[in-house]
Amino acid sequence: MDLVNLVTTVLPEMLAQAAETGAAAAGQVADQATQAADQAPQAADAVANAGWADAFRPIGRGLGAGLASLGAAWGIGRIAATSVESIARQPDASGDIRGAMILTSAFIEGVCLFAVVVALLT
């Protein structure tokens, strides 16, 4: 695979995949921020009617879910960046690198989904 083919075909494809993954992670973070904002009135009512631990539980849920999503987005972004760098250095191994990148990104998204569910349910 020559450099022109890499720049014209493989690199735009990798950048499109990285952009889609980043957009999905940003959407998750925005959804969780909206959920946290929706729970703010409940937190205020809990402060007035119950103990402090119950009052801060919704805030902790929102923060936990948001941090899990941000961590996953950062990790997937790093994977995409290093994969593009690796393909630029060794274009012959682009198929193997791309496969490893997609598989690792899927594992990270699975762990993130589990973390968000645990944060919101506990």
Contact 81, 27 (CB under 8 A): no
Integer Cα distance of 101 and 78 in angstroms: 10
Report which residue type is found at 2. D
Reduce the secondary structure of 66-90 to three states and give it as a string: HHHHHHHHHHHHHHHHHHHHHHHHC
For all residues of the chain together, what is the average pLDDT? 80
Q: Name, of 5-14, 25-34, 56-65, 91-100, the range with top average pLDDT.
A: 91-100
Segment 18-51, tens digit of pLDDT = 767 767 777 777 777 777 777 767 766 666 665 6
Q: Specify the CATH architecture of the domain 3-121.
A: Up-down Bundle (1.20)
Domain ranges of the chain: 3-121
pTM of the model: 0.53
pLDDT of residue 84: 93
Report how far apart, in Å, the C-alpha atoms of 14 and of each of 6, 24, 63, 68, 80 are: 10, 15, 31, 24, 8
